[in-house]
Amino acid sequence: MRHSRSADSAANDRKPAGWSEAFDVIKMIWPYLWEFRTRLGFAFVLLVLAKVATVTMPWVLKQIVDGLDESINPVLVVPIMLIIAYGLLRFGSVFFAEARDAVFSRITERAMRSMVLRVFRHLHSLELEFHLSRQTGGISRDIDRGGNGFSFLMRMLVFNIVPTLIELGMVAAILLVNFSYLYAIIILVSVGCYIYFTILTTEWRNRFVREANQLDSQSNTRAIDSLLNYETVKYFNNEEFEAQQYDSNLARWESARLKTRMTLMLLNSGQALIIGVGMILLLWMAARDVASGAITLGSLVMINAYILQLFMPLNFLGMVYREVRRALTDLENMFGLLKRKPSIENAPSALPLKVMEGGIEFDKVNFAYHQERPILKNLSFKVEPGSKVAIVGPSGSGKSTLARLLFRFYDLHGGAIRIDGQSIDQVTQESLRQAIGVVPQDTVLFNDSIYNNIAYGRPSASAEEVREAIRMANLEPFIASLPEGTETKVGERGLKVSGGEKQRIAIARVLLKRPPIMLFDEATSALDSATEKSILAAFETLARNHTSLVIAHRLSTIVDADQILVLDQGELIETGTHQQLLAKAGRYAQMWQLQQENEEY
């Protein structure tokens, strides 16, 4: 992975969502919010009440100041009700805002839960090819960032942007009604210039921010790569070389960070200049009007309070705008997963598979992962109900592809696969996969207890049924040797248990599923001979009274098969029992002889 570009770097380098994309994202979000329209309306009412209380406070403060102005009131009397009202309004602005947050948080959390769950379900509906060609970590980050992006977007809209716009409208209306229209014009022009400058400058400096993030990821990737390869560094005495490479990356990162600091200074200075000019004009007009007697001193205080209330939230506009654009991009990426349609879908008239005997038929099957390289060519064979059929052949002959096609992870390019006469593309995928039990070559377990890993075969199974599966898989001696028994954690991907025990857990899991058709995909190829023998005995128990399809690497494991199919380059070249194939002295006999010689050696 040395010199590779990290996923985080790629994420930081993504182009922010444009306004058309942002509109599409909002359209996709809206149904999740509309589900809570009553609560949404209540939250909006609380939002307006909070802003009414906030906007009313400067007016009450004006009345209090005018009550202390000797030129207006020779006797200094401040009505106690005004002081109480001011306190209540301040409390009300906080209380209504907190109540709005409490009401709206339920909408945000439930909507985010619904969206993420929908994406999760959709990912499980996508074909195997999608998951093989895409990094799981990248998908996880898309979901995580999308959920967090939605939460941030809602917080900013409801707690920052919309309230500021409402307050701006209220203040402009108050100034327009009570004072000269010039006050409202100056407020609106100042805010407009502030927003325009912030958006323009933020868009310009975003490229420096992305560059700094990319270089930060590259330097971290280089450092981690070097530390992970500690022994290699030591073998070649390249400590100083690694330090120089790391320092070179840090130097570029330092330069990029300096650019972001300088552009941030420009952004903040420009914002402060616009605010300062607006405040100077407003306060100059207000002071002039006070001096001329056109307005009272309390009016000056009120105007100044409105200016502070309006411009303080705008100080965060640059950050809010940048993060909102990023949140929209993250949401677009998450919803992009939903836009991908599964290539493997149930036919409109699909019915549940009815397994009566368990016979399998491959009829002139053609398939290729890539059109220029066919894998299976007009392959035809039958697996009789209750029989054990083995498939052997060199690497790349199409053995494992048969298993994937039987499970309908891919659709055929020609021919048909039938189970008891029912074409698998005309039955539901759920019923097809429920009828097949698989013991794979590499058994992957969940990072959970042994009990839960076995119970995964049929989550509705009783504890007694799980224990019976454990007994049939001959897992009891192993579990008895563990201090925590069936509650022992197997570790991530089952790394805390041996290969043989993992296979036994896989067998117990399939036993619990009780499928009529069994598929063994080179399930003992990675085991030693002693473990293999004990596992094969468990396989015999598992395959009893089932139709079994065995994809084998070690020919010694399938000598008792009712039929052996020999594949080569996607074609069936030999078929028969073990003895019959040896007598033919063909490809199978050559493979058998070669393996026997290797084992003797």
Element (H, E) at 376: strand 376-383
Query: Last residue of some domain: 286, 314, 342?
Result: 342
Cβ density class 177-196: b for 16+ within 10 Å, e for less: eebeeebbebbbebbebbee
Q: What is the side-by-side order of every strand in the sheet holding 388-392?
A: 436-439, 517-521, 547-551, 388-392, 563-568, 571-576
| Band (9; pLDDT cuts 50, 70, 90) | very low
Q: In the predicted model, what is the mean pLDDT of the chain?
A: 80
Q: Based on the fold, state whether residues 106 and 214 are members of the same structural domain.
A: no
For residue 563, what pLDDT is reported?
92
The answer on pLDDT for 59 being more than 60 is yes
Q: Based on the fold, state whether residues 39 and 125 are members of the same structural domain.
A: yes
Q: Based on the fold, state whether residues 37 and 141 are members of the same structural domain.
A: yes
The answer on pLDDT for 314 being more than 50 is yes
Q: Based on the fold, state whether residues 398 and 544 are members of the same structural domain.
A: yes
The answer on pLDDT for 6 being more than 60 is no
- In total, how many domains does the chain have? 3
| 476 inside domain | no
For residue 365, what pLDDT is reported?
92
For residue 551, what pLDDT is reported?
87
| 395 inside domain | yes
Q: Based on the fold, state whether residues 336 and 395 are members of the same structural domain.
A: no
- Classify residue 489 by its DSSP letter: B
For residue 19, what pLDDT is reported?
56
For residue 2, what pLDDT is reported?
38
For residue 565, what pLDDT is reported?
92
The answer on pLDDT for 199 being more than 90 is no
Q: Based on the fold, state whether residues 186 and 175 are members of the same structural domain.
A: no
Q: Taken in order 161, 167, 171, 176, is the CA torsion positive or negative?
A: positive
| Band (580; pLDDT cuts 50, 70, 90) | very high
Q: Based on the fold, state whether residues 61 and 155 are members of the same structural domain.
A: yes
For residue 579, what pLDDT is reported?
92
67 token code pair: 């009550």
| Band (318; pLDDT cuts 50, 70, 90) | low
Q: Based on the fold, state whether residues 107 and 175 are members of the same structural domain.
A: yes
584 token code pair: 């033919």
The answer on pLDDT for 132 being more than 70 is no
CATH number at residue 416: 3.40.50.300
Who has greater pLDDT, 59 or 91? 91
Nearby residues of 117 by Cβ (< 8 Å), 6 or more positions away = none
**What is the average per-residue pLDDT within 449-466?**
89
For residue 8, what pLDDT is reported?
40
Parallel, antiparallel, or unpaired: how do β-strands 388-392 and 547-551 relate?
parallel
**What is the average per-residue pLDDT within 221-230?**
79
| 415 inside domain | yes
| 314 inside domain | no
Q: Based on the fold, state whether residues 58 and 78 are members of the same structural domain.
A: yes
pTM above 0.75, yes or no: no
Q: Based on the fold, state whether residues 144 and 60 are members of the same structural domain.
A: yes
- For the chain, what is the radius of gyration of the CA atoms? 36
- Least confident among 64-73, 216-225, 277-286, 550-559: 64-73
Residue 494 to residue 337: CA distance in whole angstroms: 29
pLDDT tens per residue across span 11-22: 444 455 555 666
The answer on pLDDT for 344 being more than 80 is yes
Who has greater pLDDT, 563 or 28? 563
- Least confident among 379-383, 425-429, 445-449, 460-464: 445-449
| 507 inside domain | no
| 459 inside domain | no
Q: Is 245 helix (H, G, I), strand (E, B) or coil?
A: helix
Question: Is residue 418 a contact partner of residue 393, using CB atoms and an 8 Å limit?
Answer: no
| 311 inside domain | no
For residue 302, what pLDDT is reported?
82
Q: Based on the fold, state whether residues 174 and 76 are members of the same structural domain.
A: yes
For residue 20, what pLDDT is reported?
63
Cα 366–chain centre separation: 35
For residue 538, what pLDDT is reported?
64
Phi/psi of residue 378, nearest 5 degrees: 50, 45
Identify the domain containing residue 525 by its residue range: 360-435+515-600
For residue 265, what pLDDT is reported?
86
| 155 inside domain | yes
Q: Based on the fold, state whether residues 528 and 570 are members of the same structural domain.
A: yes
Question: Is residue 486 a contact partner of residue 451, using CB atoms and an 8 Å limit?
Answer: yes
Within 13 A of 560's CA, how many CA atoms are on the CB side? 8
Residue 373 to residue 444: CA distance in whole angstroms: 30
CA neighbor of 454 nearest in space, from 429, 483, 476, 432: 476
Who has greater pLDDT, 568 or 34? 568
pLDDT tens per residue across span 170-196: 887 887 877 778 888 888 888 888 888
Residue 69 to residue 61: CA distance in whole angstroms: 13
CATH number at residue 41: 1.20.1560.10
What percentage of the chain's residues is helix, strand, coil (to nearest 5)?
Answer: 65, 10, 25
Q: What is the 3-state secondary structure (H, E, C) of 116-171?
A: HHHHHHHHHHCCHHHHHHCCHHHHHHHHHHHHHHHHHHHHHHHHHHHHHHHHHHHH
The answer on pLDDT for 534 being more than 70 is no
| Band (503; pLDDT cuts 50, 70, 90) | confident
State how far the alpha carbon of 379 is from the alpha carbons of 194, 361, 412, in Å: 71, 10, 11
| Band (5; pLDDT cuts 50, 70, 90) | very low
